[in-house]
Copies of this chain bind each other. A is one copy, B any other.
Amino acid sequence: MIIVLRDNVTEEQIENLKKHLNKYGFEICESLGVQKRIIGAIGAKPDFDTRKIKILDGVAEVHRITEPFTLTSRNHQKENTVIKIKDVEIGTDQLTLIAGPCSVENEEQIFKLAEVVAISGAKILRGGAFKPRSSPYSFQGLGEEGLKMMRKAADKFGLLMITEVLEVGQIDLVGSYTDIFQVGARNMQNFSLIKELGKTNKPVMLKRGISATIEDWLMSAEYLLANGNKNVMLCERGIRSFDKYTKHNFDLSAIPIVHRKSHLPVIADPSHAAGFRDYVPAMARAAVAAGADGLMIEIHHDPEKALSDGPQALLPAIYMQLIEELRIIAGAVGKKL
C-alpha cells in the first residue's frame, strides 16, 4: 500500500497515521525523500480495506500495490491451469467445445442434441435442469428428471456433462449427475454457494456476473481455490451495456486480460452474449480469434419450440458449419479444434 500525504500534512498527522499502520499490522517504510509526501506500508492481508487509511487526516491518496486475489493470480502460478476430466483436458492448445440446449426439455430432445454435439467433435454436453429465470412465471427446469436424462444422453454419446447448480442444498444432487458444475452469472457473488463448491473436488465453471469487474470475477474464483478446489474455469458471457441493440456487451478484451492476470482457462459463451442466433456465429469466431480456451454454444433442433432461450440457439446445421470456420481461425491463433 502506498500512502500519498497531503501537501500540508502535519507531523502529528503522520504520527497518527503510523500508529494506525502499526495497529493494522503493516511494516512502515521510510518516506521517499525529496518531497516528504509518500509512505509505504507492507505486509497486511490482500483484502485490507484501504479506505481505513484514506479517511485519516493528512492522507491524500492510497494505492493498493497488490491485487486482492492471490491463488487465482498468474503471480502465484506461472503455468496455465489444465483441468483434466477423464480424457478431456481444458486449458491446453486444444479448444474446448461445449454445446447443447439451454434447458433439458425431454429425453428425445437431449438425445438428439447430444448426438449432434458428439458428431461435431465437442466433448462436453451442456443443458439446464434447474433454471434461474427473471420471471417467477417462466419455465423453471425439469429438476432431477432433467439431470437423469442428460446423464443418460451424455453417457450414450461418450460426452462429459455440465449443468448449473443454484443453491447449496442442490450440490450433492447435481454433483451426483454432472461432471462440471456451472455457476451462473446471477450467482457469481453468491458466496455461500461458491464456498461450498470450493469444498468439492469437481470442476466448476464460474460465469462472469453481468456487471462484475474482472477483479470481482477473480475474487469469486478465489473463493473456490481458497476452499480447496483447483479445478476452476471462467466463462465470459457478456456484461451490462447502455445500448438496447447490444443488450449484453461481449467483453472479448477480458480474454487476453484474464490470461495475463490469471492462470485459469477462460471459456466464451457467445450465445448468451449475443441473445439472437443471427449474431452468434460472428461472436463465436471473434472469441476464438481473441484467444478463448473454449466456447459454450447453445443449439436446438427446433428452436421455436424451445422452452427457454430458443431465439439464441443455433440450428444443428448452422452450428456444424460454424465449427468449420472456427477450425480455420483456431489455426491462425495456434490452437486446434
Contact = CB atoms under 8 A, between A and B. Distances in A.
Given A7-B75, A134-B189, A286-B289, A2 B63 contact: yes
Nearest to A238: B253
A327 to B, nearest CB: 8
Contacts of A290: 282-283, 285-286
Contact of A52 (B256, B257, B310): B310
Interface residues of A, number: 111
Contacts of A37: 65
Contact of A216 (B2, B55, B134, B254): B134
Interface in A191-208: 191-193, 195
Main secondary structure of the interface of A (DSSP, over half): mixed
A257 B279 contact: yes
A252 B68 CA distance: 30
A253 B275 CA distance: 11
A49 B276 CA distance: 12
A314 to B, nearest CB: 12
Nearest to A45: B137
Interface in A268-289: 273-279, 282-283, 285-289
Interface in A285-299: 285-291
Most buried by B among A37, A250, A255: A250
A40 B42 contact: no
Contacts of A275: 51
A285 B29 contact: no
Contacts of A286: 252, 286-287, 289-290
A40 to B, nearest CB: 4
Contact of A33 (B4, B30, B169, B254): B30
Given A252-B283, A273-B253, A289 B135 contact: no
Contact of A240 (B32, B38, B242, B326): B242
Given A27-B34, A192-B167, A253-B274, A54 B311 contact: yes
Interface of A: 2, 4, 7, 20, 27, 29-30, 32-35, 37-38, 40, 42, 45-47, 49, 51-52, 54-55, 60-61, 63, 65, 68, 75, 132-138, 166-170, 186-187, 189-193, 195, 209-211, 213-216, 219-220, 222-223, 226-227, 239-246, 249-257, 260-261, 273-279, 282-283, 285-291, 303-304, 308-312, 325-326, 328-329, 331-333
